[in-house]
Structures are given as C-alpha cells and as structure tokens.
Chain A
Amino acid sequence: MAAISFLKSGFNRAGQKFKLSVYLWLIIMVVCLILVLPVNSQIRTSLGHLSWPEHSLMPFELNLVEIFLVNQNLLASYFIFFLVTILLSALLAVFLSGGLFGQMIDPVDRVSFSHFLAAGCRYFGRFLLSLVLFIPFLAVFFIVFKLLSAPLNLWSARAVSERPVILAGWLSLVLLALLWPAFKVILDLVRIFIVTEAKKVTASYASALKFLERHFFQLWGLYLLVTLAVVVISGIWLAICRLLSPARPGSLLVLILLGQAFVLFRLLARQVLIGVEYSYFSIRKDS
C-alpha cells in the first residue's frame, strides 16, 4: 500500500474525529489561561493606565521590560508557579494522550467528551508507565544524537570562520528533528498496542519493537512526511501573519483568529499522525 493511502486514511480518521482536537484545544486553553492570567494582571495593573501619546518616550516593549525589571520579586514567584503548573500539565498531557489514542483508535466514528475523558482515565496509568519506560530510549536517543553530531561539532570546533559554526549548528538541529521521530514512533506504537490489544506495557514494548524490526523505516518515513507537511503549512501561515500588523484592532482580531486556527491545525496534525500510524499498524500487523 502506498504511503499516500496511509496518509489519506489517517487524514480521514482525523477528520471524522475532529472534535478531539476541539476538546484538546479547550483543555489546553484553560491551562494557558491559568498560566497567562497572572502576567496579564501584572501588565494591566502596571500599564493599564499608561498614557500612550503618539510620540512616546519609549516603545511599549520597553515599558514591558521596565515593569518586569521593577517587579523582579514577583517574577521569581511567578516562575515557580509556572514550573509547577507545567509539571502538572505534563501529567495532564499523558492523560490527554490516553483520551486521544483511545478515541482515535476506537472503531466507532462518533466521539464524545465523556468518552474522551473515560479513555483518558482508562489509559492514564499504562501511558504514564510507558512514558517512564521510554526514558532508557531517550538516553539512547541522546547518545545516538551525540555520536551523529560529533563530526559536526568537530567541524565547528576547528573552524576558523563563522560560517561552519552556523552551518554545523543548524545541521545539528536538522539531525535532531530527523532523529526524534525515529524514537517517538516507538512510544506511539507502544500506545497503539496498549489500546488495540489491551496488553501490559512491557508486553506492548516487546510487540512494538518486534513490529518495528520489519516496519521501522516505513513508519519513520510516514512520520517525517507528516512533519514536513506541518512545517510547510506553518511557514505559509507565518507568511500570512507577517502581512498583518498587530497595532490595529482589526488586524489584531484577525491575528488572534489565525493564531487559534494554527493551534487547532497543530492539534489536528497530531491526530492525523496517530491516524496514519494506526492505519499502517492495522494493515501491516499481520504481515
């Protein structure tokens, strides 16, 4: 089966269950509100009544820097709050992954918020464990990355001009971007096994690795194809946004809408990716 049909199948499945992206969007929005509201409150308190004449003494961005420098103590407290919230969000993310995989793989087309939450609860423990067991793979990932980027680092270290340093830096990033899916695909596949075959986590790892023995490059390739599409569409989106100036209220509203459309696009892309992986898995699992 050609890559295109896997992509098509994944896309269809994601389209049918688009509501999942909306659920995720709403939940993430709540977390964002928790994180951003204190900052917004500080800005409004300090600058809400700032007189902003046409010829201001300094650009507004410097007013922002100024109030954060003046309120450094608040900033330190906020930083701790931010970290704690992010850590809790990490657990929430595992929960959401449970809901997402559970509902995406569910043969029933209809999705509901209660089923999404139920799936999240059902798979939370096993997904968390799968994440913990993924740590050794992460270590391998970093070792492989270090080994592969070593020649680039050496080239950079021996350079007598700036260009090789910049080039090596960017090639390292490209390498990182190529390598990460190769490992991420393991975790995704483990979770597909957990959901489809109700296996234990260790058994799912064994099955996933066995499956990847034969299908690693195909899955990796599919992952990269979807990622490339996301990058291209993100670039186009960015170019459109660049045409709009946030200084005017009308443009700002369009920018906000475009921004949220992009967030939904990214969530949908995640759905598509799971759909593509599952589609490949379901067709090739017995081959």
Chain B
Amino acid sequence: MKKTIWPGALTSYLILVISISLLPAIPCPAQPRPVNYKLEVELLPPAASLLAKETLVWTNLSQDYIPDMYFHLYWNAFKNELSTLAREARQEKYFKRYRTKEEAWGWIKITSLTTADGHDLLASATFISPDEPPNPHDQTVLRIILPEPLGPGQSIKLNIEFQAKVPRNGLRTGHYKDGFFISQWFPKPGVYEEGKGWNCHEYHLNSEFFADFADFEVRITVPSELVVGACGEEIKKAEDRSAGKTTYTYAQENIHDFAWTASPRFIKVERWFKGEEEVSPEEYQQMAELLGVDIRDIKLPDVRMILLIEKQHRHQVDRHFRALKAALKYYGLWYGPYPYRTITMVDPPFRTGSGGMEYPTLFTAGTSVLLEKDVLTPEGVIIHEFGHNYWYGMVANNEFEEAWLDEGINTYSTGKVSAVAYGPGRIPARFNGLPLSQLFKLPAVYDWQLGRVISSPVAKLDSVLTSSWNFYNSGSYSLNVYYRAATSLFTLERLLGEKTWARIMRTYHQRYRFKHPRTEDFIQVVNEVSGQDLNWFFQEFFYAAKDFDYAISSVETRIKPEKYRGIFDDLPTVSPEHDRETTNQTAVSKKDKSRQKIYETIITLRRYGEIMLAPGYNLKLKVEFEDGSIDWKEWDGQSRWVRFYFEKPVRVKRAVLDPDGLWLVDTNLSNNSYARRGPTTKIMSVTTGLFWLVQNMLITMSSWL
C-alpha cells in the first residue's frame, strides 16, 4: 500500500513545489482569523454518504467571556418535512425551489465532539431555533456548552467526527447517481459578535450564509474514477490503487467556506489569466485616472483558472473561459486584484441542484447542451458567481440578514461587466430544452433593463433590507435583494456620476475586504466619498417598501382663442414667469402683423409613488416643439402633481420627464414620456402578432372540437 502511495505523493509534492514557485506572490492579508479547520472526509458513493473528521481551532477575538458555541449543521434542513427550510418551501405557492422527497433526505450527524483533552461536549449539546418564529423541530443549529467560558484571546481546539448523507437534489448541494456537489457539509461555527453573542441562523429557504474567515486544509478521499474539484489549491494527491481510492488535499487561507465536487463525467481544463495580456496599458491608465489611484495598485496578477465541465458540454469550454476572464479583468480593475492563486469554475454535475452558486475560490455555473450564440448563458451566471468572490467571498456581509449587500451589489456588478464585455444579451426562448430563437426573436437587453422592469412589482411588498427569511415569498426575496437593490445602485451611479461612483465602490471594497460590513458601512462610504448626505436615498429605497413613480400624466393642447369671453379689468393678474413668456410672444405677434395660431399646452406631471425626491433634487422635464425649439422645466417633486403651461405657435412634439434616465428606479418608465406620434408601428406589430396567435389557437381548438 505504501509503495503505491509514495511515488504518487512524491510526484504531487514536486508538482506542488514547482507550481508554487511558478505562481506570483500575491499577498493574502494577514488579519487575525478566528477559525482554523483541518478536515478529512471520505465519500462513499453507493450510499451517497460522507465519513468525516474535523479538527477545529476557534479563537475568541472579542473581549467577551464566551460560555458556549453555536454550530451550523446545514444538511439537517434536508432531514425531514419539519425543518425550517422544508416548512418555508411548502409555503411557496408558485415557484418551489425545494421539494421534499422520500428518497432524497439528507442529514448530518455528529458522532463525537471532544475538546483537545478529551472532554465530551456532545452530551450537553442541544439543537436550538434562534429565529422567529421558533421551530423546535429544526436541527440546523447546534449549541454546545464549553467546559469553561472562553476568555478574550483564548482558543479552543475541538475534535469532531461526523457522518452525513448527501441529499438527493437538495438546495445548492446534492447528488445524482455518482455525481456529487458537496457544500455546507461540515459543522461550522457561527460568527461571534462582540457584545451581542453568536450570530448563527437556521438554514432558511431564501437565506444563504455567514461565517468567519478561516484557514482550511481538507483531505478528500473518493473512488479514483471520480474527478474532483474544490475550493483553494490542490496541494497533494495520493492514489491507493489497491483500494481504488484517491485522496486529494486542498488548502486555502482566508476563506470562510469550503465546497467540493466529484463526478466521473467531469473534464478538467486549466488555463491562465494573465493580467498583462488581458489588460492593455491604456486600460490600466484610464482606470487609474478614473479611480484616482497609482497604476501599480491596480495591476492584475496571474490566476490559474480551473474548469470542471461535464463531458456533454465540452464544446463550450471557450465560452466559459472567455466569461471568466472578463470577470477577473473587470472585477479586478474596478474593485481590486483577485487575491487568490486559483479560481475553480464548475459546470455542476447533472441534476444535483447545485448550479449558479458561489463559494470562495470556487463557483458553479450551469449550462445546456444546446445554446444560442447571442444568449448570455452561461456567461451571465459565470460572471455573477465569480463576482461573489468579491461580494460575499472577500467583502463578507451577513447573507441571512442583509443579502442585498452581496446579491444586490453583485447583480449590479454583473450587469456592468456583461455590458462592457458582451453588450446586451438576447432573452432566451426555449421549449423542451430546444432553443427557439429562430422562431421567436426576443429582444437583446442589458441586465439592468430587465432587472428594473421585473423588480418593480415588489417595490411595495417588502423592503430590500428585510431579513431573508421574512420576505413575503421567494420571488419578493430575489427580486428585491438582487434586482431592486441593483437598480437602486444603477440609479445612484447615474446621480453621482461614473467617477465618483467608481471610487465609492472601490473604497467600499478595499475598506471591507476580509471583513463583515453592514449596510450602514456601505452608506457611510457612499456619503464620505460623494461628499453628500444620501441617507434619505437608502432610507427610501432600501429600508422602506415604497415605490417611486413620477409621470407625465397628460399633455393637453388647444388653440389659444383670439378673444376670451367675459369681463376683464385693465390690469390682468398673471404670474411673473407667465408674464415674461407671454410678453415675448406678444412682442413677436405684434411684429408679425399676420395673425398666427398660438397653441396653449398644459403638461401635468404627477407623483404616483410614495417616495418623493429629497430637498435639493429636481426632476427635469424636456419639452420639444414641432419647430425644433426645446423648453426645460424643473420640478422638485414634493407635491403630488404640478402643471406647466406653454404658449407657442407650434404644438408639443415630445415631452420627456427625466430625459437623462437618471431615475432608473422609477417603477414605471413607460409613463415618463409623451409624443404626439407614438410608436404606432411597434404597437401594430405587437397587436397583430397577438391577434395571429389567438387566431391560430382558435383554429387549433376548432379543429379538435
């Protein structure tokens, strides 16, 4: 056995040494990390189970004396129908993201939990339900009592042994036959917050995760025919040919989660991202000027890109790498260089329910065998999930409580990267797995365009800053924290300008890299860098469930009568502004003896939404007349409506409220403009198309009846 292992181990060691020496030195910030993990796990595919040992060293970095520890045991969410996750999933009416199935249960069971000196802590362990409403049946949070309170700076070493059953097609993790995606699989302590205690929530349907930064060393043993990928770097590979097993050792510093995958149908492809090749000197220069930083600070390091792709998708290898390169480039340039040596991109094993998910230094995308060229799938997912290395991975907010801080910011960032790297992507039309773009050419759109439209209905349902398990439903959760939050950020960008916004985002990222910021921290950076008090913006668009909708309610035009009927005094009363406008026009009409028609136009603007502009902000109204002249008006938006009066010898051709499109967060942009001649051809096209479809439906029906 040793004979077979040694040559492999030696080779692995040599590869490791050579690889490390070839890799550029990237500084991983040496901040104190409260957790250190050493994990050993063996995957038993026939039973779809794990046998594992965990050695955990946890250090109290607070000034508190801590009597207990809370652990996440996420897989118990898949244990039965009474878990918090299963209960929440049952309440979903329309889109069920998770369904319990008899043969699909998953669980985790700690078989031994002792301190370094052998003190058994399992006997006193209890499951708790920290969230409201409490669920006594949930077993996703375990509390253990420490032998004695842990003082400031003290560490505790725990030895844990556990078994786990991989859920079949769980949520974000699972297996299908011999394909496995393993995440949230080991007992993981919550985050201790000084003065507040443990922040350790149950596993909810809509919530993702929150954990402390840690150093990981993980040994994964699997049948040798499985191809493995994991977070961090593979530092050792040892094959036991007699047992038909291979043990992979992965290590990574300064990450807060560890996921891995194994499947016999993976192809492993490696390529390099080379900063000097991907970014031109001009681009570095422009970016340095935009951000106001030294060009040396934004130089991008080389990164080893690893792709694990299902054999059936091998023809899409280039598409995957192109998207990842774009993401590495733009996230790196805008927010800061990617600090790890590797990034692993996984096309998740078929039917494991694990696509489109992020883990530090590893993410899952997901694709289809039949793809259109102009539909940005899987590109959009790749960019988004990689981007989570920045928003969640490095800037590690609490996803349970403030999911928008990673999902919203990252959706915004994805939209930016997709736009600059690809332009708009076509909305996919598929039936039964077959792309139908040759039949139905749906429009090409930017992410922000689609995002702002689909998120408008939930503006009044929940606030963006609702705890993830307290949203009305999954739809409200995702539309609010992803798209409404992103739309609000796009709005802020347009209000503050590209340069200021770029500096805000970079400052926020740099300041909170490898930390756990809260919403207040983000607001503080926005205010600080912009030099403005934008608290009102966040109050209205993030903390409150309100809508923002200003509109051109009506445009009424009539020919001004030559004479008005009635009794008039010699000195009519008019407003100074009105007086000025009419005096000018009167002067013109006196000069031009031939009488010409004068049109009186009244444009009414209304505020349908509850949110009103803050003092100091105005909405612009641009009015174009048929003779090409343009009038501008401004409205502070405080009242529910306002009317503007125009007298011109020509009619209004077009009026646009907010013509620069600053307020993307407006829930209905379709009522922001008026044109004498609307998009008749487009309306005709839509209506006749619909008419034709209904005709055919009726013919089909009549031929069947």
Contacts and interface: CB of A to CB of B under 8 A. Distances in A.
Interface stretch (A12-20, A65-73, A201-209): A65-73
Given A43-B687, A93-B702, A61 B696 contact: no
A162 B457 CA distance: 34
A198 to B, nearest CB: 21
A22 interface: no
Interface string B641-683: 0000000000000111000010010011111011110110111
Contacts of B695: 28-29, 32, 263
A250 to B, nearest CB: 10
Given A58-B669, A170-B432, A238 B675 contact: no
Given A63-B670, A184-B704, A48 B456 contact: no
A96 B702 contact: yes
A1 interface: no
Interface stretch (B140-148, B300-308, B446-454): B446-454
Contacts of A93: 698, 701-702, 705
A139 interface: no
A238 B439 contact: yes
Given A28-B699, A50-B675, A64-B686, A161 B350 contact: yes
A52 B679 contact: yes
A59 interface: yes
Question: Which interface residue of B432, B454, B685, B694 has the most chain A CB atoms within 10 A?
Answer: B694
Contact of B674 (A51, A238, A260): A51
Question: Which interface residue of B454, B684, B695 has the most chain A CB atoms within 10 A?
Answer: B695
A279 B645 CA distance: 74
Given A24-B702, A263-B696, A70 B667 contact: yes
Given A36-B690, A184-B704, A66 B669 contact: yes
Interface string B366-406: 00111000000000000000000000000000000000000
A246 B685 CA distance: 6
A285 interface: no
B285 interface: no
B686 to A, nearest CB: 6
B438 interface: yes
A28 B698 contact: yes
B575 interface: no
Contact of A169 (B312, B433, B684, B690): B433
A70 B456 contact: yes
Contact of B698 (A89, A259, A260): A89
Interface string A24-43: 10001101110110011001
A165 B433 contact: yes
A267 interface: yes
B260 to A, nearest CB: 20
B670 A47 contact: yes
A100 to B, nearest CB: 9
Contacts of B434: 166, 170
A193 B416 CA distance: 67
B176 interface: yes
A50 B369 CA distance: 40
A89 B701 contact: yes
A46 B438 contact: no
B516 interface: no
A69 B688 contact: no
B453 A166 contact: no
A283 interface: no
Contacts of B696: 263, 266
Contacts of B699: 28, 263, 266-267, 270
Given A28-B699, A50-B675, A246-B689, 17 more contacts: A32-B691, A49-B676, A51-B678, A52-B675, A52-B682, A63-B670, A69-B454, A92-B702, A97-B702, A162-B368, A166-B369, A170-B432, A238-B439, A252-B684, A259-B688, A259-B692, A267-B699
22 contacts: A28-B702, A39-B687, A40-B683, A46-B671, A49-B675, A50-B673, A51-B654, A59-B444, A59-B449, A62-B443, A65-B453, A65-B454, A70-B457, A70-B668, A86-B701, A93-B702, A161-B350, A161-B369, A166-B370, A246-B685, A255-B688, A259-B692
Interface of A: 24, 28-29, 31-33, 35-36, 39-40, 43-44, 46-52, 57-67, 69-70, 72, 86, 89-90, 92-94, 96-97, 131, 159-163, 165-166, 169-170, 173, 184, 238, 242, 246-249, 252, 255-256, 259-260, 262-263, 266-267, 270
